[in-house]
Structures are given as structure tokens and as C-alpha cells.
Amino acid sequence: MGKSSIKLIANNKKAYHDFFIDDTFEAGVSLHGTEVKSLRMGKCSIKEAFVRIENGEVFVYGMHISPYEKGNIFNKDPLRVKKLLMHRYEINKLMGKIKEKGFTLVPLKVYFKGSLVKVEIGLARGKKLYDKREDIAKKDQRREAEKEFKIRNLR
């Protein structure tokens, strides 16, 4: 089992719909005890979350971790800004890419890697409306093809 066991907590499907993901990075998260307990129960949302680099440090905004029921006074604000832990060379690489036009950072998934909480962040370019329509059309075509295939194989 060890370190390699990965347990998904939250997935950001909206990010794949709204952005082209060019590159992904794994980052640790600086959390408090009750937040980790809440994550173990799977209470996390990253739908509206985004990542920003300030003073050479990476922070995630809008990542909602529900308060732990038995945490009482130790609970932190659910929408607290959380620091992401990354290597300096990775941060420098990201800063260089973000300075290019149209690039942004979005959290893609939150998961446990062994006992550690990790966030996968993606270097993303925004999609235009016609790109989204194109994706929806492709999905519909694939669904139709699968349906046809299923019907043909039933006969």
C-alpha cells in the first residue's frame, strides 16, 4: 500500500469544460488538523477555486472545506486562503508561463497520496464559446456512435 495509494477527494470537471489544460503540477497543501479530518470524510469543493502566485508563494482561493462536526472551536473558515507547497523551480516555471497572455492556474483535483493531501493544479488557457460548443458536439457524436454500436450488437 504505502505512499502510492491515491484516494480522490474532489474533482473539478468544470475546469476541463472551461479551459484547455496544457500542463499539470502536484502541490502539497498547508492545512490545520480539523480541515484534514473533514477532507478524510470527503467534504471538499473546488468548483469555484483558482490559484494565484503572490510574492513567490502559491495560494489557492475559493477551495471550500466544510467545517468538521466535532471540531468546535478548532474549526477554521471554510473558504480560508490555503498555501500550496511547491518547489521553487516549479513556482518560477509557473510564473514565467503565467506572464504569457491567456494562461491561468486552476486546481483540477484534491486527493490523498498516502497520508498527505495533494492538489493537482493545471496550467490552463481559457476556452472561447465556440470551443465549448465544439466539445459538446464531439461528446454528442461519441454518445450517438456508442448508442448505434450497442443497438447493432444487440441484434
pLDDT in tens, 46-85: 788 888 888 888 888 888 777 777 766 666 666 778 888 8
Position with higher pLDDT, 154 vs 142: 142
The pLDDT of residue 152:
73
The pLDDT of residue 144:
79
Bridge partners of residue 29, in order along the sequence = 84
Q: Which residues contact 77 (CB under 8 A, 6 or more apart)?
A: none
The CA-atom distances, in angstroms, between 27 and each of 4, 52, 88, 126, 130 are 15, 13, 12, 22, 32
Quick check: 72 and 112 in contact, CB under 8 A? no
* Mean of per-residue pLDDT scores for the chain: 79
- Check whether 108 has a pLDDT greater than 70: yes
